Amino acid sequence: MRMLRVIVSAAVAAVLVSGQALAGMGQPTPWQIGLQDAATPVMENIVWFHNFLLWVITIITLFVLALLVIVIVRFNARKNPVPSRTTHHTLLELAWTLIPVVILVSIAIPSFKLLFFQGTIPNADITIKATGNQWNWTYSYPDAKIEFTSIMLNEEERAKASPPPPRLLGVDNPIYVPVNKVVRVQVIGADVIHSFAVPSFGIKIDAVPGRLNETWFQATREGVYYGQCSELCGKDHAFMPIEVRVVSEQAYAAWLDEAKKKFAVDDRGAPRTVAAADQVR
Ligand SMILES: [Cu+2]
């Protein structure tokens, strides 16, 4: 019995430790078991809720398994030639009605809390609009009047980049956001339904043509975070990654200055680059 306990606790510890060690920050890792590391309060909540449910389901499963074993061993036909005629047990029936209700309520309360936390967008510092196209993303920062398209790097371009981004995840024009700021993300589809998802931020929202969806994130750690289109949208669905760089306020300001020169658009969203202005003249 003691031996069994040692083996079980060793196995559980191995799974927990490896899950944590292998979970990637902002990107998936080989042999990853758990969720990607959380970089926003929403994702921290999701990870907590996920682990909480895992405990609940594990305890329930072991309890039901124990009941089954007891029934098989103690109440089989061989041991009970004359079956018991008991049909009701008021206390037992009350217990098996009320205990599940208590369990469900204890799941529902944090679940609804999380849902409202995700669904209520706080006062945003920055708004980014992400438009899903077949098969890339267009991002605009309406307040800064910039707009650009973000396309996946192919193998050749990836090899040239330093450091090379993970395969199928790096893009030519990533989104930049400052750390600790609330970012409102408006998401829409230009052609078919796409889905804007960044696992470390705990966001995933459909990009539907003709309907503006909204979500938000507040990244609390600097770094590079990857996501992917998460709605089957056609032949290159797997090749429209999302890359978000969370940087310091100064680095963001520097990027924004540069971006305003490169990606400027006018109020109607038409390009206002130097080249385009030249053509008009
Ligand atoms: Cu897509």
Ligand 1 centroid from CA 94, angstroms:
50
Decide if pLDDT at 199 tops 70.
yes
Ligand 1 centroid from CA 22, angstroms:
27
Decide if pLDDT at 159 tops 70.
yes
Ligand 1 centroid from CA 193, angstroms:
7
pLDDT recorded at residue 10:
53
pLDDT recorded at residue 9:
57
- 35-119 is a CATH 1.10.287.90 domain: yes
Spatial CB neighbours of 49, under 8 Å, sequence gap ≥ 6: 110, 111, 114
Ligand 1 centroid from CA 202, angstroms:
18
Enumerate residues with CB within 5 Å of ligand 1 (an ion). 194, 229, 233
The CATH H-level superfamily of 126-280 is: Cupredoxins -  blue copper proteins (2.60.40.420)
CA distances from 143 to 68, 78, 122, 126, 127 (A): 62, 78, 17, 8, 7
pLDDT recorded at residue 210:
95
Ligand 1 centroid from CA 32, angstroms:
24
Tell me the average pLDDT of the chain.
89
Q: Tell me the per-residue pLDDT of 237-248, one tens digit each, with 9 for 90 and over.
A: 999 999 999 999
Decide if pLDDT at 277 tops 50.
no
Inter-residue contact 138 to 149 (CB < 8 Å): yes
pLDDT recorded at residue 24:
61
Residues 144-166, mean pLDDT to the nearest whole number:
92
pLDDT band at 163 (very low <50, low <70, confident <90, very high): confident
Residues 158-164, mean pLDDT to the nearest whole number:
88
Q: Tell me the per-residue pLDDT of 17-43, one tens digit each, with 9 for 90 and over.
A: 444 444 567 898 888 888 999 999 999
Decide if pLDDT at 127 tops 80.
yes
CA distances from 52 to 38, 56, 57, 103, 131 (A): 16, 6, 9, 12, 35
pLDDT recorded at residue 21:
40
Ligand 1 centroid from CA 168, angstroms:
14
Ligand 1 centroid from CA 197, angstroms:
10
Ligand 1 centroid from CA 236, angstroms:
8
Sorted by where each begins, the domain ranges of the chain are: 35-119, 126-280
Ligand 1 centroid from CA 235, angstroms:
9
pLDDT recorded at residue 4:
54
